[in-house]
């Protein structure tokens, strides 16, 4: 939580991957705190449902919500996303790059060019494009916080199921550190979150087998998956004025486990 009451009221966060899971949960949490929420995703129905939920719960007390149907793997689309957000709200103080997925599980020798390239396009390029698009505005205001979605897999390498995804998330964590250090004296903070298994549509999208899901759980001493809201509350804290000396770090949220 922020130190200052109403710290987020009137400020704006741009969230990619906002159609479900962690992105949707984070949108609702920021709206609860009075922030304007720009919800971006390639899933039109999902992102519109997120905005409907925001308006239904916080329309009278929270900030405004905007749905944008955006493919983050396309630089021009991401640049349009930022311009549309600025046109509507006049500023972007926070960016949460939540869009990402393993796309599908694969043993290392079965990873083909298509899977490898699409995984890096979504997870790495999508994050890279969004940061490049929003940073000039943040630098002009000398204020901004960027939170990127990493993964515990970048520490373990994803053997047997997702080396391609682990490598992409490793790139995200490293890129976040570089951006944080490059702009640390210009009012910008950049952080990443590396979760263990969280209850989201991610598992279905990546075709996780029951055996693999059990393997994940067996490695979590708490004996459960995380909840999207638990990650969203962490994003709120990272963006707040309660941790202004924190930058260039990745925060591991894993119920005590190493995951993979």
Domain spans of the chain, in order of start? 12-253
Question: What confidence score (pLDDT) does residue 33 get?
Answer: 96
User: Is residue 120 scored above 60 in pLDDT?
Assistant: yes
The architecture that CATH gives domain 12-253 is 3-Layer(aba) Sandwich (3.40)
Residues 6+ apart with CB under 8 A from 221: 255, 256, 257
User: Is residue 202 scored above 70 in pLDDT?
Assistant: no
Q: In the block, which residue shows the tokens 């009012």?
A: 187
Question: What confidence score (pLDDT) does residue 258 get?
Answer: 67
**Chain-wide mean pLDDT for the chain?**
94
pLDDT, tens only, 12-35: 999 999 999 999 999 999 999 999
User: Is residue 259 scored above 70 in pLDDT?
Assistant: no
User: Is residue 52 scored above 50 in pLDDT?
Assistant: yes
Residue 163 near residue 157 (C-beta atoms within 8 A): yes
Question: What confidence score (pLDDT) does residue 187 get?
Answer: 98
pLDDT more than 70, % of the chain: 96
Give the global pTM: 0.95
Residues 6+ apart with CB under 8 A from 235: 26, 29, 30, 96, 147, 193
Q: Name the residue among 205, 207, 203 with its Cα closest to residue 259.
A: 203
Confidence of residue 229 (pLDDT cuts 50, 70, 90): very high
- Taking residues 102-129, what's their average pLDDT? 98
User: Is residue 135 scored above 90 in pLDDT?
Assistant: yes
The DSSP output letter for 125 is: I
* Residue 7 designated active-site: no
3-class DSSP assignment, residue 150: coil
Confidence of residue 126 (pLDDT cuts 50, 70, 90): very high
Give CA separation, 54 vs 36, 87, 98, in Å.
10, 20, 17
Residue of higher predicted confidence among 70 and 204: 70
For residue 15, what is the enclosing H or E element? strand 12-16
Question: What confidence score (pLDDT) does residue 208 get?
Answer: 64
> What is the C-alpha R_g of the chain?
17
Strand order in the sheet with 65-69: 65-69, 36-41, 12-16, 94-97, 144-149, 188-195, 250-253
Q: Mark 156-167 as b/e (b = at least 16 C-beta within 10 Å).
A: eebeebbbbbbb
User: Is residue 70 scored above 80 in pLDDT?
Assistant: yes
User: Is residue 146 scored above 70 in pLDDT?
Assistant: yes
- Say how far apart CA 64 and CA 12 lie, in whole Å: 9
CB atoms within 10 A of CB 255: 19
Q: Mark 116-154 as b/e (b = at least 16 C-beta within 10 Å).
A: bebbbbbbbbbbbbbbebbbebbeeeebbbbbbbbbbbb
For residue 36, what is the enclosing H or E element? strand 36-41
Question: What confidence score (pLDDT) does residue 260 get?
Answer: 44
């Amino acid at each position: 939580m922020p130190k200052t009451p109403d710290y987020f009221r009137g400020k704006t966060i741009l969230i990619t991957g906002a159609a479900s899971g962690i992105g949707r949960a984070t949108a609702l949490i920021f709206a609860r705190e009075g922030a304007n929420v720009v919800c971006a995703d390639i899933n039109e129905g999902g992102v519109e449902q997120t905005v409907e939920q925001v308006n239904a719960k916080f329309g009278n007390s929270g900030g405004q919500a905007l749905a944008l149907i955006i493919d983050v793997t396309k630089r021009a689309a991401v640049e349009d996303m930022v311009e549309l957000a600025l046109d509507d709200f006049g500023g972007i103080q926070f960016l949460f790059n939540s869009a990402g997925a393993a796309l599908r599980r694969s043993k290392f020798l079965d990873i083909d060019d298509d899977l490898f390239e699409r995984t890096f396009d979504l997870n790495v390029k999508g994050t890279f494009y969004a940061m490049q698009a929003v940073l000039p505005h943040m630098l002009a205001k000398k204020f901004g916080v960027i939170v990127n979605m990493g993964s515990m897999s970048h520490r373990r390498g994803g053997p047997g199921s997702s080396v391609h995804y682990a490598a992409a998330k490793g790139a995200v964590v490293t890129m976040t550190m570089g951006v944080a250090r490059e702009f640390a004296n210009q009012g910008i903070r950049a952080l990443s979150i590396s979760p263990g298994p969280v209850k989201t549509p991610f598992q279905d999208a990546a075709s996780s087998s029951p055996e693999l899901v059990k393997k994940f759980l067996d490695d979590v001493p708490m004996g459960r998956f995380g909840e999207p809201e638990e990650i969203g509350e962490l994003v709120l804290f990272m963006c707040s004025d309660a941790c202004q000396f924190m930058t260039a770090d990745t925060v591991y949220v894993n119920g005590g486990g190493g995951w993979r």
